[in-house]
Amino acid sequence: MKEVRIEMGKGRLELKRIENKINRQVTFAKRRNGLLKKAYELSVLCDAEVALIIFSTRGKLYDFSSTSSMLKTLERYEKCSFGPPEQRKPAKEDLQEQSSYQEYMRLKERYDALKQLERQESKVFKLIIHLGELSLKFYCFKFSGITMVRKLTP
């Protein structure tokens, strides 16, 4: 069994197999979820194509793919890693597709931001109209109150 020392923010951590079965399972679950979350964040923040495959000791599969098809990402990996040297470079179509997707995502983000701004402006506009109506009602009420006072006094 290999022991590895890792330096972390809180000090040195000796990395070795956790002997207690329950502790090992809890650690696996927490770290698996953290790794899946990091894979998702990497794909969103950096617009990267990410595929993650995890098998538990019992053989249960946990996976994440930032694209709609894990298979497509694995095929792309296979081409880049094991194919002939001319296939290892991304194909022009793949680059164009990736560029188109990135452009789509940028446009979608701008569209969503504009829609949100439009909704906010609409709310502000409605609030201004409502405040104007309230102000008008207040002045009408105030004016009618003054008129009534004058009528009562001889």
| 50-59 per-position pLDDT tens digit | 999 999 999 9
Q: Is residue 151 part of a domain?
A: no
Total domain count, the chain: 1
pTM across the whole model: 0.49
Q: Is residue 9 part of a domain?
A: yes
CA-derived radius of gyration, the chain? 31
Q: Is residue 56 part of a domain?
A: yes
Q: Is residue 81 part of a domain?
A: yes
Say which CATH number the domain at 80 has.
Answer: 3.40.1810.10
Per-residue model confidence as pLDDT tens digits over 34-76: 999 999 999 999 999 999 999 999 999 999 999 988 998 998 8
Supply the range of the domain harboring residue 33.
4-89
The residue ranges of DSSP E strands in the chain, in sequence order, are 4-8, 11-15, 51-55, 61-65
Q: Is residue 64 part of a domain?
A: yes
Q: Is residue 128 part of a domain?
A: no
DSSP 2: -
